Amino acid sequence: MDNVEIDIKVPNQTRYLSLIGKIGEDVARTLKRYRGDREELAYQINLVLTEATSNAILHASDDAADRTIHINIAVINRNLHIRVFDQGQGFDPEALPNQDFQEPGESGRGVYIIRSIMDKVNFSRVDGGHVLEMIKFLH
């Protein structure tokens, strides 16, 4: 599997979610020698990118409409790394309650979805904001 790295910078607006998701799908379809279900992987990458980016947008500061969201997608040594950088207050997946399947609510599924699909999830502070880093093993 070749190493691939893509950097995306878009305005802090939900209208760009579709574009970001489609780029993720194209990465899945282009991977060399991936033996799993390629269309399933495409949907999963689209989904985690959409969830992580919309969380970053929705949890950004009120004055953040003119700011940018930075997304880095990389395939390194058969691992898919996705990093979503925000310039706001960010959101910490650890701070959210677990999914309650008995009492289905209107929100709170995004982090559960990310954790179900990705093998490692980490949230940390960086200069001027936060980064949500997610890794999926591709073998």
Rule CB under 8 A: which residues touch other proteins?
14-15, 17-18, 21, 39-40, 43, 46-47, 50-51, 54, 57-58, 99, 101, 104-110, 112-113, 116
Q: Could you tell me the CA-to-CA distances from 128 to 11, 90, 135 in Å, in that order? A: 16, 11, 23
Question: H helices within the chain, ranges in order?
Answer: 17-30, 38-58, 110-117
Q: Select 1 or 117, whichever has its Cβ closest to other proteins.
A: 117
Tell me how far, at minimum, the Cβ of 44 lies from other proteins, in Å: 9
Taking the C-alpha atoms of residue 77 and residue 96, their distance in angstroms, rounded to an integer, is: 31
What residues have CB less than 8 Å from 27, skipping those under 6 apart?
4, 6, 45, 73, 75, 80
Q: Select 47 or 64, whichever has its Cβ closest to other proteins.
A: 47
Tell me how far, at minimum, the Cβ of 113 lies from other proteins, in Å: 6
Tell me how far, at minimum, the Cβ of 61 lies from other proteins, in Å: 17
